[in-house]
Amino acid sequence: MNSQSLLLTIVQLNWSGPVVHPGDLCFKLPNNVSLEEGTMCEPLSVGVHACRRANVGPETNVLVMGAGPIGLVTLLAARAFEAPRIVVADVNDHRLSVAKALGAHEIVKVSTNIEEVAEEVAKIKEAMGTRVDVSFDCAGFNKTMATALSATAPDNTLCLKLLRSSKVDVKPLITHRFGFSQKEVEKAFETSAGGGNAMKVMFNM
């Protein structure tokens, strides 16, 4: 068998008509969903997963940094999760126009200059018109990460609210308590460093 016929055989084997796949991993497309739309489930799942992890909902204002494919599916997912305000930022005018067409409430043109973070954060906050609750960095650059972090409002009281409401019980995590004498301090650090059953070690002042 020469190399040409071997190549043809390999191609025929790899591109055969029927494809066998486990049935429990196959999902039938709804009648109103085309094959092309079905192929978009994979990228869309990235945006859906991100929004679920971030608990995006009707009270969550969302910033999306980057209007590439992942940024745009994150925008679509945030809309599906009923985010009231969604701002998309990107360096590319065409991508921003696509984001606007897909339902972004506002779009912000940014640059690649790291020194312009503060100025662009101000633009994003103005475009949002209210606090930014959740930011998604869908570009993966130092600048986009810095911009997203700076634009997102800190929620300094969230932990206190959770404790007050008793939705979170942290008491079982406090496994050891020590006084503040030198001997007990040494014992506390030994206990903490020793692993085992120690979770959180507290000092009683």
* Residue 123 pLDDT level (bands cut at 50, 70, 90): very high
Query: What is the pLDDT averaged over residues 146-175?
Result: 83
* Residue 161 pLDDT level (bands cut at 50, 70, 90): confident
Gap between the Cα atoms of 151 and 137, Å rounded: 12
* Residue 8 pLDDT level (bands cut at 50, 70, 90): very low
* Residue 141 pLDDT level (bands cut at 50, 70, 90): very high
Delimit the domains of the chain by residue range.
Answer: 39-155, 159-203
CATH tag, 39-155: 3.40.50.720
Query: What is the pLDDT averaged over residues 106-119?
Result: 95
In order of 61, 80, 198, the CA distances from 84 in angstroms are: 6, 10, 44
Gap between the Cα atoms of 9 and 78, Å rounded: 47
Contact partners, residue 40, CB within 8 Å, separation at least 6: 73
CA–centroid distance for 179 within its chain: 42
Contact partners, residue 44, CB within 8 Å, separation at least 6: 73, 76, 77
> What are the residues facing 44 on neighbouring strands?
none
Q: Residue 125 pLDDT > 60, yes or no?
A: yes
Q: Residue 158 pLDDT > 70, yes or no?
A: no
Query: What is the pLDDT averaged over residues 102-110?
Result: 97
| pTM, entire model | 0.70
Q: Residue 16 pLDDT > 70, yes or no?
A: no
> What are the residues facing 65 on neighbouring strands?
89, 137
Task: Give the total residue count for the chain.
Answer: 205
Gap between the Cα atoms of 116 and 136, Å rounded: 19
User: Which range is least confidently modeled, 8-22, 29-43, 97-111?
Assistant: 8-22
Share of the chain above pLDDT 90, in %: 60
* Residue 170 pLDDT level (bands cut at 50, 70, 90): confident
Residue range 25-78, pLDDT digits in tens: 888 888 998 888 888 888 899 999 999 999 999 999 999 999 999 999 999 999
Q: What pLDDT score does 179 carry?
A: 92
